[in-house]
C-alpha cells in the first residue's frame, strides 16, 4: 500500500514568496507583517523603529503633531491618533493628549489658565474685550485675576502701573524649588521640570534660563550664575560635574584657538597662490576668444 508523501515546511520557499521590505530608519529588512504604513503619506517603516520614534517625541514634548520620520516625505504626512494608540502605551497617549490640549489653550486668545497652582482650570475670556485687560473669574476656584498680567484684578490701574508681585500660589511665576511648572520668560510657554539640573532650555523658543530666578543663561557658557547670588549652589549638579563641564567648554575654545594658530602659517603661505590663481582666472576671462 503506497501513500502520498506528506507536505514539508520549506522556509526558503516562504521567504521567496514574501519579499523583505526596507526600513528607512534602521536600514534593516523585515517581512511585511513587521512593517507599519502611515496612512497619510503611505511611508513604510519597521514597527519597532516607528514605535520608538513616537514614544521619544511624546516623552520630550517636541511635537504635538507627530510627523512622518522621513525628512524627505513628499506628502509631509502625520500619524493619526488611532495609529499611535496601537503602538505606544496608554500612559504615553495620555501625555500626548495633555500636550495637545495645553497647546490649544496657549494658541487660543479666548482661553487662559487659572494662575492658581491648586486649581489649574481653563478660564474663558470675553471675545469683545480681547485688546484690553479684563477681569477673569475662575469658574472652579472663583479667583479673580487680570487677563493681561495674571495678577490680582487691579481695576482702574494699568498693568505697567500695578506693582507685579508673584502670587505664592502661582505655579508659573513662583520661584519655589518645589514648583513643577513654570512659564518660559521669553515666549511664556508652560514648562514642566521633572528632574535634572536648573539650567533649562525652552523647546519652543530655545531660550536658556535658570529655573529658579528665570534669568537668561544665553551667554553663561561656564554657568557662573550658580557661583553667587540667590541661586548659588542650586544648579543641581555635583561640584565635580560643574568642573568637568567648564573644563570641556574651555577645552573646546582652546582647541579652536590652537587649530587656528597652527593653520595660520599655512594660510599665509597659500594666500599668494590663491590670489595668483584668481588673477589668472580673471585675466583669462577678459581675453578675447580665438578666431
Are the beta carbons of 212 and 175 closer than 8 angstroms?
A: yes
Are 35 and 21 contacting, i.e. CB atoms less than 8 angstroms apart?
A: yes
Burial-class residue 208 by CB neighbours within 10 Å (0-12, 13-18, 19+): middle
> Catalytic pick from 197, 202, 213, 231?
197
Neighbours of 201 (CB within 10 A): 14
Binning the chain into helix, strand and coil, the percentages to the nearest 5 are 35, 15, 50
Distance, in Å, from the CA atom of 77 to the CA atom of 70, rounded to the nearest integer, reads: 9
Instruction: Give the span between the Cα atoms of 244 and 251, in whole angstroms.
Output: 10
CA proximity to 157, closest of 146, 167, 143? 146
Q: Which of 34, 35, 31 is nearest to 19 (CA)?
A: 31
Backbone angles phi and psi of 219, in degrees to 5: -105, 5
User: Is residue 123 annotated as part of the catalytic site, yes or no?
Assistant: no
How many other C-beta atoms can be found within 10 angstroms of the C-beta atom of residue 50? 26
- The residues annotated as belonging to the active site are 197
Amino acid at each position: 500500500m503506497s501513500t502520498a508523501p506528506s507536505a514539508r515546511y520549506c522556509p526558503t520557499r516562504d521567504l521567496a514568496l514574501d519579499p523583505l521590505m526596507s526600513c528607512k530608519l534602521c536600514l534593516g529588512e523585515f517581512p511585511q507583517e513587521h512593517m507599519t504604513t502611515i496612512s497619510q503619506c503611505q511611508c513604510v517603516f519597521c514597527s519597532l523603529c516607528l514605535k520608538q520614534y513616537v514614544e521619544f517625541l511624546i516623552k520630550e514634548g517636541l511635537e504635538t503633531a507627530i510627523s512622518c520620520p522621513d525628512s524627505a516625505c513628499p506628502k509631509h504626512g502625520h500619524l493619526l491618533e488611532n495609529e499611535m494608540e496601537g503602538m505606544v502605551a496608554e500612559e504615553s497617549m495620555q501625555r500626548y493628549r495633555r500636550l495637545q490640549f495645553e497647546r490649544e489653550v496657549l494658541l487660543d486668545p479666548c482661553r487662559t489658565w487659572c494662575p492658581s497652582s491648586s486649581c489649574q482650570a481653563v478660564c474663558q475670556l470675553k471675545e469683545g474685550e480681547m485688546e484690553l485687560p479684563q477681569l477673569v473669574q475662575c469658574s472652579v476656584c472663583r479667583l479673580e485675576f487680570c487677563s493681561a498680567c495674571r495678577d490680582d484684578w487691579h481695576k482702574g490701574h494699568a498693568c505697567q502701573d500695578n506693582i507685579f508681585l508673584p502670587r505664592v500660589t502661582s505655579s508659573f511665576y513662583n520661584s519655589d524649588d518645589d514648583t513643577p511648572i513654570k512659564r518660559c520668560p521669553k515666549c511664556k510657554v508652560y514648562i514642566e521640570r521633572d528632574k535634572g539640573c536648573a539650567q533649562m532650555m525652552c523647546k519652543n523658543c530655545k531660550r536658556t534660563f535658570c529655573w529658579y530666578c528665570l534669568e537668561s543663561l544665553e551667554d553663561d557658557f561656564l554657568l557662573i550664575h550658580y557661583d553667587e547670588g540667590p541661586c548659588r549652589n542650586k544648579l543641581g549638579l555635583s561640584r565635580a560635574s560643574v568642573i568637568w563641564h567648564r573644563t570641556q567648554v574651555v577645552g573646546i575654545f582652546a582647541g579652536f584657538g590652537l587649530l587656528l594658530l597652527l593653520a595660520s602659517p599655512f594660510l599665509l603661505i597659500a594666500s599668494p597662490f590663491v590670489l595668483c590663481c584668481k588673477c589668472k582666472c580673471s585675466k583669462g576671462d577678459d581675453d578675447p576668444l580665438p578666431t
